[in-house]
């Protein structure tokens, strides 16, 4: 246990349910406050991924005030398969305990730990209002020496999407997508498509705009893909996906979305990617519409679909605009080189 700025900072063990619940409560409360109660609140999902373990090392910190009350929480995620110089950090402070140096103390502990693990760069997500005005996290990050590397825009689609809109948009793809075949699935692709799915995951890590973040190509294989889908199940999520197969049978693209049984009204767009050789055939739109049609029929409780895109990802933004997504929030990826 570390004493600093009149608080005690302790390492949280996810299998200790009581302490982990305290950690999550502070994180969730801070997020609700900063977003205006507009974010996911998945205690069960967070605990599942931390207890189960994954392809990342996690370090969670909890800060208590002099009366033992939890007032700060922080998390460090270290990739173990690729991006071995990087780490991802998150710091949350109870709204009533801010501007006392607590956030800086938590961040300093995680920076020191990341450095001891050979990491030379940390990245973290920072929220902005849609008009670009900074929220508290941006001011905190800047004061800590972090600089914005990439700007993403969150867009929301009210659900259900009208069937006539789906029909009309699908009709615009027919002349350009001839010869391509869609394979839709739940939970995970069929076994024979896991290897091409791994290739598409690797493609996403190359093609997704990374700004100045320094993120490198990820390493994906069938085992890693399988672990990722198993993790979604452990987190209480249901997944709908569609892969597009080219006329020669090769994988041309994939699109997936998820919803949590712990938060059934919010759905989240996950990966969407089209191989470069198959772009220009409106496959991205076609796959997303296929998912949307099945998802809405099988999960009618959902009221909104969230997606995030880099501000300069004009192709995917154009698809989302066609579907009716509208901007709601800005999210920056900020980075700092550790000395």
**Helix 194-207 and helix 222-234: axis angle, to 10°?**
90
pTM exceeding 0.95: no
pLDDT digits (tens, 9 = 90+) for 79-100: 999 999 999 999 999 999 998 8
Residues 6 or more apart whose Cβ sits within 8 Å of residue 200: 243, 251, 253, 254, 271, 273, 275
The angle formed by the CA atoms of residues 119, 91 and 125, to the nearest 5 degrees, is 75
Q: Is 101 left (phi over 0), alpha (psi -120 to 50) or beta?
A: left
Give the residue from 117, 78, 87, 108 showing the smallest Cα distance to 4.
108
Specify whether the CB–CB gap between 258 and 268 falls below 8 A. yes
- DSSP structure string for 194-262: HHHHHHHHHHHHHHS--TTS--------HHHHHHHHHHHHHTTEEEEEEEEE-TTS-EEEEEEEEEETT
Per-residue pLDDT of the chain (339 residues; tens, 9 = 90+): 444 566 799 999 988 989 999 999 999 999 888 877 665 567 777 777 776 667 889 999 999 998 899 999 999 999 999 999 999 999 999 999 998 899 999 999 999 999 999 999 999 999 888 887 777 888 899 999 999 999 999 999 999 999 999 999 999 998 899 999 999 999 999 999 999 999 999 998 888 777 778 888 899 999 999 999 998 998 889 999 999 999 999 999 999 999 998 889 999 999 999 999 999 999 999 999 999 999 999 999 999 999 999 988 899 999 999 999 999 989 999 999 997
CA atoms of 177 and 173, how far apart (whole Å):
6
């Amino acid at each position: 246990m570390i004493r600093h700025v009149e608080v005690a900072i302790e390492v949280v063990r996810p299998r200790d349910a009581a302490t982990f619940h305290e950690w999550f409560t502070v994180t969730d409360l801070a997020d609700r406050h900063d977003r205006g109660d507009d974010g996911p609140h998945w205690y069960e999902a967070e605990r599942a991924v931390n207890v189960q373990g994954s392809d990342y090392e996690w370090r969670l910190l909890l800060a208590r005030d002099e009366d033992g009350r939890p007032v700060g929480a922080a998390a460090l995620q270290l990739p173990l398969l690729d991006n071995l110089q990087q780490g991802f950090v998150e710091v949350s402070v109870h709204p009533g305990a801010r501007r006392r140096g607590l956030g800086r103390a938590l961040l300093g502990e995680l920076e020191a730990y990341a450095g001891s693990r050979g990491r030379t760069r940390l990245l973290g997500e920072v929220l902005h209002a849609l008009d670009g005005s900074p929220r508290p996290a941006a001011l905190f990050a800047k004061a800590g020496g972090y600089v914005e590397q990439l700007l993403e825009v969150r867009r929301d689609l009210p659900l259900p999407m009208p069937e006539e809109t789906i029909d009309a948009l699908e009709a615009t793809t027919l002349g350009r997508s001839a010869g391509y075949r869609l394979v839709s699935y739940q939970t995970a692709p069929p076994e024979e498509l896991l290897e091409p799915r791994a290739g598409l995951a690797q493609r996403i890590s190359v093609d997704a705009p990374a700004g100045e973040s320094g993120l490198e190509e990820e390493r994906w294989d069938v085992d890693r893909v399988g672990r990722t889908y198993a993790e979604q199940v452990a987190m209480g999520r249901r997944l709908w996906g569609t892969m597009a197969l080219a006329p020669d049978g090769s994988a041309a693209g994939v699109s997936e979305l998820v919803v949590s049984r712990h938060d059934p009204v919010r759905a989240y767009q996950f990966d969407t990617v089209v191989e470069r050789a198959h772009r220009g055939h409106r496959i991205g739109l076609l796959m997303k519409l296929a998912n949307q049609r099945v998802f809405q029929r099988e999960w009618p409780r959902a009221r909104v679909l969230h997606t995030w895109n880099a501000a300069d990802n004009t192709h995917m933004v154009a698809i989302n605009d066609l579907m009716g997504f509208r901007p709601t929030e800005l999210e920056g990826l900020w980075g700092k080189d550790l000395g």
